[in-house]
Chain A
Amino acid sequence: MSCMLDKNGIAKRIAAELKDGYYVNLGIGIPTLVANFIPAGINVVLQSENGLLGMGPFPYEGEEDPDLINAGKQTITTVPGSAFFDSAMSFGMIRSQKIDITVLGAMEVSENGDIANWKIPGKMVKGMGGAMDLVASAKNIIVAMQHVNKAGESKLLSKCTLPLTGVNCVKKIVTELGVFDVLPEGGFMLLERAPGVTVDEIRKATAGKLVIKGDVPEIQV
């Protein structure tokens, strides 16, 4: 039976990419859930680009601190050893590649690693926040997103149609259907399938160039 990943499944699979000693920036939405699945036995430090290294879980009720929020404006806590800093220093550590991995959501990704996630002309005008800075500088960018949009159209395209956030930057994508590497020469290489999801189903849902090499294993989550 086909068993597409839910949001937590996507987050859990991405968490498996984290390594001991990593500094990690998690975007809003599914990426935030990655923090719940950090593998046992490894130490990672979560960065919030509004000015915190060492982000902890949400506070207990009654312990919310209005001066302590994450980049999604949610109340949070700190872990022992955390540090606060201003916004220029925050993007300094992003630009100078001290952050090892960045996980963010997207509306579209193209087969050469372009990403669009900040604007739908005439419809949605929210702004890019820190996303453009992150994708322009991060050394390892993983996109967490649904494979198709609400209209049923593929979000893995040969070319993005929406205004770009960054070019040639996405390295890996995890959707409810599978895990994909964005190849340097262009194309989405299918690394793993969600349990029971066939290569054909993935091919149908992928508008961009899909690259299959040999047998594709199922995701172990």
Chain B
Amino acid sequence: MINKVVTDASKAISDINDGAVIMLGGFGLCGIPENCITALMKKGVKNLTCISNNAGVDDFGLGLLLKRKQLKKMIASYVGENAEFERQLLSGELEVELIPQGTLATRCMAAGYGMPAIFTPAGIGTEVAQGKEVRNFNGKDYLMEMAFEADFALVKAWKGDTSGNLVYRATARNFNPLMAMAGKITIAEVEELVEPGELDPNMIHTPGVFVNTIFQGQNYEKRIEHVTVRSIN
């Protein structure tokens, strides 16, 4: 099998430079590529365009890059948990495109499946529809939304093998398999890196063909945004 392993996050992201368009998997702080984000922060790359469902929180996830003004533009569906984001948006320092979550997912999917555009009813009759082509199919209006074009996709998986096959865990899957297929170059970080043959081929979520580079992640914090519990009684 083809070996795609690099030693660590800084090697994995070494080709990402100023002005790159990057997709990052994760929903909230769940399933985000923590190691890659930290490496981008340390490298200090600037003017990034990031496509990710959320923008992290003030001191974790994409919030780390935001705080250091490394982002030029953010494309997301929900950014409610990040005060610094809201500040940079209202002051005009950060370009922001807010798009419906299903549209975000499906624009990733289209890119990964080699299709230029999709039609969705989400946003019809709202400001999201402004300037977009509307087509009527069977009596219902749909917006044409374009497939994303991203230079890099950074994804986080639970397990992966050295040839890039990936398995995600629970709701940490979210956007990761879609973005893994959508990036021109896909970099995967995993909690557990194994040899080919150790993962059951029936259970692979992302076949290795979509992954260019894989590495064993370190020191996962896996922060929880809202710890909610029930009482024993």
Min CB gap B186→A, angstroms: 15
Tell whether, in the assembled complex, residue A68 and residue B170 are in contact, meaning their CB atoms are under 8 Å apart: yes
Tell whether, in the assembled complex, residue B121 and residue A137 are in contact, meaning their CB atoms are under 8 Å apart: yes
- Total interface residues on A, CB under 8 Å, equals 51
Tell whether, in the assembled complex, residue A75 and residue B229 are in contact, meaning their CB atoms are under 8 Å apart: yes
Min CB gap B166→A, angstroms: 12
Q: Which residues on A sit within 8 Å (CB–CB) of B210? A: none
Tell whether, in the assembled complex, residue B30 and residue A73 are in contact, meaning their CB atoms are under 8 Å apart: yes
Interface residue range, chain B: 35 or more
Q: Which residues on B sit within 8 Å (CB–CB) of A3? A: none
Tell whether, in the assembled complex, residue A72 and residue B226 are in contact, meaning their CB atoms are under 8 Å apart: yes
Tell whether, in the assembled complex, residue B102 and residue A130 are in contact, meaning their CB atoms are under 8 Å apart: yes
Distance in angstroms between the alpha carbons of A125 and B174 in the assembled complex: 23
Tell whether, in the assembled complex, residue B222 and residue A137 are in contact, meaning their CB atoms are under 8 Å apart: no
Tell whether, in the assembled complex, residue B79 and residue A50 are in contact, meaning their CB atoms are under 8 Å apart: no
Tell whether, in the assembled complex, residue A127 and residue B80 are in contact, meaning their CB atoms are under 8 Å apart: yes
Chain B minimum-CB-distance residue to A168: B125
Q: Which B76-109 residues have a C-beta within 8 angstroms of A?
A: 76-81, 86, 89-90, 96, 98-106, 108-109
Work out how many contacts link A and B, with CB atoms closer than 8 A: 176
- Contact partner, A59, options B104, B127, B229, Cβ 8 Å: B229
Distance in angstroms between the alpha carbons of A58 and B231 in the assembled complex: 9
Tell whether, in the assembled complex, residue A91 and residue B227 are in contact, meaning their CB atoms are under 8 Å apart: no
Q: Which residues on A sit within 8 Å (CB–CB) of B126? A: 132, 163-167
The binding surface of chain A is classed by DSSP as: loop
**Residue B123 at the A interface, CB < 8 A?**
yes
Distance in angstroms between the alpha carbons of A115 and B76 in the assembled complex: 21
Distance in angstroms between the alpha carbons of A168 and B140 in the assembled complex: 12
Distance in angstroms between the alpha carbons of A166 and B125 in the assembled complex: 7
**Residue B134 at the A interface, CB < 8 A?**
no
Tell whether, in the assembled complex, residue B77 and residue A122 are in contact, meaning their CB atoms are under 8 Å apart: no
**Residue A61 at the B interface, CB < 8 A?**
yes
Q: Which residues on A sit within 8 Å (CB–CB) of B38? A: none
Q: Which B211-233 residues have a C-beta within 8 angstroms of A?
A: 222-230, 232
**Residue B176 at the A interface, CB < 8 A?**
yes
Tell whether, in the assembled complex, residue A95 and residue B105 are in contact, meaning their CB atoms are under 8 Å apart: no
**Residue B147 at the A interface, CB < 8 A?**
no
**Residue A146 at the B interface, CB < 8 A?**
no
Beyond A73-B226, A125-B89, 16 additional contacts (C-beta under 8 Å) are: A51-B27, A57-B230, A66-B223, A70-B171, A75-B224, A75-B226, A85-B173, A88-B178, A91-B106, A95-B120, A95-B121, A127-B98, A128-B100, A129-B78, A130-B102, A136-B121
Closest 3 CB pairs of A and B: A91-B102, A133-B102, A126-B80
- CB-defined A-B contacts under 8 Å, sample of 23: A49-B101, A57-B230, A58-B228, A58-B230, A64-B227, A69-B30, A69-B171, A73-B29, A84-B170, A84-B171, A86-B177, A86-B178, A90-B102, A91-B102, A91-B106, A95-B120, A125-B98, A128-B128, A130-B100, A132-B123, A137-B122, A163-B126, A166-B124
Interface residues of B (CB under 8 A from A): 27-31, 53, 76-81, 86, 89-90, 96, 98-106, 108-109, 120-128, 158, 168-178, 205, 222-230, 232
